[in-house]
Amino acid sequence: MIFRILIVICISFSLDAYANYKNSNGEELNKSFRELVQWQRNNKDPEISIIDLSDEWKNINLEEADNYFIWIGHSSFLIKKNGITILTDPIFSERASPFKNIGPKRLIPPAIYLKDIPNIDYVTISHNHYDHLDIDSLVKISKNYPDVIFLVPAGDLKLLERKHIKNAYQFNWWESYETKDVTLTFTPVQHWSKRGLFDRNKSLWGGWYMKFKDYSLYHAGDTGYSNDFIDTKNRLGSPKYAFIPIGAYDPEWFMQNSHVNPEDAVKIMLDLEAEYSFGMHWGTFVLTDEDTLEPPKRLKKAAINSNNVKFQSIKPGQVIKLK
């Protein structure tokens, strides 16, 4: 409750007139102080459940094995494809917060710790919210993996530079980091950014499209439902695998513009024409009012109702082979 009050204060007293970035439709996502208070007055206590973790990852040699991914928790995935290792939105801290002792605390530990990951080539960041850009984790990664390359949204590079993190680059939408083996393109989604009192939308937000020689993967970051995913498919092609958020949507009258529910997540999969999709952004932190286990239940039903599309939730630590 204390952290939610802090969120209300921070959002309400931000200087929106100085915002730089908008969504692709030209609009900003703003909520009035009245709406924020209404949410806090009427919010329900969600039923908290601890989701099961898998230790399946311990059965493979992470360094020698190839073409797999593992959900670490929240929006963090360890992806290894054609010998290249990518870590998305890594958060290994106990809290998703600027504070050490207050703020959303983990329900579950990371399925894999940094010490268990033998190598990282790229770290992708979708936006600067504390549950996605965990600066303490980035500092540790920078120290433990000196050759890693950090790819962040435009406006966030300074956060890394202040911590003396090297090999970091920032991107606007549709800009890419390209090598002979992979092209990583920053794509538009519908969201917003903020870390302090006066920096609302001073940095960008987006998803990451990972194009390899044989096929592509896509990480949507945080997003509301929009036409951005049709645009991504039309510009870059359909990814074979897509990682799409399915949690942090309740109350939907307040959250729907920035966080999709499971039904809208399925719509995103269909817009992308992805062959396989996997849910993220649920079960790790309590950020909103839905019960912990509601997102995968709604996702299963939504997938069935959409001609049994191959969209599933998995356990943190489970190893999924890339086909």
Q: What is the pLDDT of residues 124-159, one digit of tens each?
A: 999 999 999 999 999 999 999 999 999 999 999 999
Quote the pLDDT of residue 43: 72
More confident residue, 160 or 37: 160
What is the pTM assigned to this prediction?
0.94
Quote the pLDDT of residue 33: 66
Quote the pLDDT of residue 11: 42
Answer yes or no: is 71 within a domain: yes
Answer yes or no: is 253 within a domain: yes
Report residue 278: phi and psi, to 5°: -135, 135
Quote the pLDDT of residue 236: 98
Q: What is the pLDDT of residues 251-264, one digit of tens each?
A: 999 999 999 999 99
Count Cβ neighbours within 10 Å for each residue of 244-260 and write b for 16 or more, e otherwise: bbbbbbbeeebbebbbb
Q: What is the pLDDT of residues 282-310, one digit of tens each?
A: 999 999 999 999 999 999 999 999 999 99
For residue 71, pLDDT beyond 60: yes
Mean pLDDT, the chain, rounded, equals 93
Q: What is the mean pLDDT of residues 188-197?
A: 95
Q: What is the mean pLDDT of residues 183-199?
A: 96
How many Å separate Cα 90 from the centre of its chain?
Answer: 9
Contacts for 164-168: CB closer than 8 Å, 24+ residues apart: 165/138, 165/139, 166/142, 167/142
The C-alpha atoms of residue 83 and residue 267 are separated, in whole angstroms, by 32
Q: What is the pLDDT of residues 231-251, one digit of tens each?
A: 999 999 999 999 999 999 999
Answer yes or no: is 24 within a domain: no
Share of residues in the chain with pLDDT > 70 (%): 93
Q: What is the mean pLDDT of residues 64-81?
A: 98
Q: With cut-offs at 50, 70 and 90, classify the pLDDT of residue 39.
A: confident
Answer yes or no: is 22 within a domain: no
- Which CATH number belongs to the domain containing residue 38 in this structure? 3.60.15.10
For residue 97, pLDDT beyond 90: yes
For residue 8, pLDDT beyond 70: no
Answer yes or no: is 46 within a domain: yes
Nearest C-alpha neighbor of 283 from the set 43, 159, 22, 107: 107
Quote the pLDDT of residue 212: 98
Answer yes or no: is 21 within a domain: no
What domain count does the chain have?
1
Answer yes or no: is 134 within a domain: yes
Q: With cut-offs at 50, 70 and 90, classify the pLDDT of residue 17.
A: very low
Q: Which domain range does residue 223 map to?
A: 2-14+30-321
Q: What is the mean pLDDT of residues 60-78?
A: 98
Answer yes or no: is 237 within a domain: yes
For residue 16, pLDDT beyond 60: no
Q: What is the mean pLDDT of residues 101-127?
A: 97
